[in-house]
Amino acid sequence: MAEITRRRTGELLQKLFSILLASSTGLPARDALHQLAAEVTLTAYEAGDYESGGRRFEKVVRFATVDCVKAGWLIKEKGTWSVTDEGRQALEDFSDPEAFYRRAVKLYAEWKASQPNADASDTATNALKPTDEISETLDTSAKAVSVTFDEAEEQAWSEISTYLRAMNPYEFQDLVADLLRAMSYHVSWVSPPGKDGGVDILAWPDPLGTRPPRIKVQVKRQQQAVSVDGLRSFMAVLGDDDVGLFVCTGGFTKDAEFEARTQEKRRITLISLDKLFDLWVEHYEKLTDQARRRLPLRPIRFLSPLS
C-alpha cells in the first residue's frame, strides 16, 4: 500500500462515512464501495488490480475499515456497514483526513494491546514509538483475516437473502410455519392460497390450543418495508389475548418499529429477514428434514478474526 498515503486513506474513509451516514440503516458493503468509487477520482494505482485478484481501491478501504471497527466507529453486520455515534463524532472532531485515520489506527493499537493474547514486550516497545511506527508494526495478517471473513460473510448473506426474497410466497409462508414448530409452538392453521383476512398462520403454546396466548402471524414476502399503516391493519385483527408476529422480507419503517415498540394494548413482534435467518440458524437442529430443504444450510469453517 505504499502508493496510497495515510492522508489518502483518511480521505477515502471520511467519504465512506459520509455515504453511510446518508442512509439511516447503513448500506451493503458492496453498494457503499461502489458509491464511494463513483464519488472520488481514483488514481491509476487505486483503480488497478492486485496480482492475487481484486481492485486495490476496494482492498485498501476494506483493510482500513478494520481499524474503524475496532475503534468503535463502524459496525459490520451481515455485509451491511453502518456508522456508530462514536464514528459520527469522530468525523466531526477530525476534519483533517490524516488525523482521522491516525486516530482510528491508534484506537486499533490500544484495542490490540488490551487483548488477552497481546504480546507484552511488543506493547511495551510500541509505547515508546511514534504513531507512524506503531501502525507499521500492527499485525497485518490479523486484519487480512478480518477482511477475508467479512467478504465471505457478505457473499453468503447476499446469496441467502436473494434466495429467500425470490421464494414463492406460499413456500416462504410454510418456512415460517416450520420455524415456529421448531421453536416448540403448535401450528394449527396455515393459510391456503387466496384471501386470508390478514392472518397467514395460527399457532398456540400447547397442542390442543387451550392455553393462551393465541399467536397470529402475518407473512409478507416483498421488497418494500411495511409502513405504520400496514402494521396497524394487522394489529386490528389481534384480540386482547393474542400475540402478533409480523414477518416481512422488506423490513419495517422506523415509524412502524416505533409503533410496535410503544404498544401498550397489543403485543406484537416484528421479524425482519435477518432476524428470521438468525432464528432459522438458532433452531436449525430442531427442524425436520423437510423443513431444512426449504432453506438448506452448511456451515463452513473460517479462521476467526480477532474479536
Mean pLDDT of successive 10-residue segments in the chain (307 residues)?
82 98 92 96 90 84 95 95 97 97 94 74 43 47 86 93 95 97 96 84 94 95 95 94 96 95 92 97 97 94 73
Starting at the edge strand that comes first in sequence, how are the strands of the sheet with 74-77 ordered? Answer: 27-28, 80-83, 74-77
pLDDT of residue 125: 41
Residue ranges of domains in the chain: 6-164, 168-292
pLDDT of residue 136: 45
DSSP string, 244-256: EEEEETT-B-HHH
**Distance (Å, whole) CA 56 – CA 50:** 6
Q: 246 Cβ partners below 8 Å, 6+ apart?
A: 217, 218, 220, 226, 231, 234, 252, 260, 268, 269, 270, 271
Q: What is the pTM of this model?
A: 0.82
**Distance (Å, whole) CA 286 – CA 242:** 25
Residue 58 is given by DSSP the state H
Tell me the backbone φ, ψ of residue 228, rounded to 5 degrees. -65, -35
pLDDT of residue 141: 77
Whether 114 and 29 have beta carbons less than 8 Å apart is answered as no
Query: What are the cell numbers at 15?
Result: 467519504
What length is written for the chain? 307
**Distance (Å, whole) CA 187 – CA 176:** 10
**Burial class, 276, CB count within 10 angstroms (exposed 0-12 / middle 13-18 / buried 19+):** buried
Chain centroid, CA 217 distance in Å: 24
pLDDT of residue 196: 67
Second CATH level (architecture) for the domain 168-292: 3-Layer(aba) Sandwich (3.40)
**Distance (Å, whole) CA 186 – CA 262:** 28
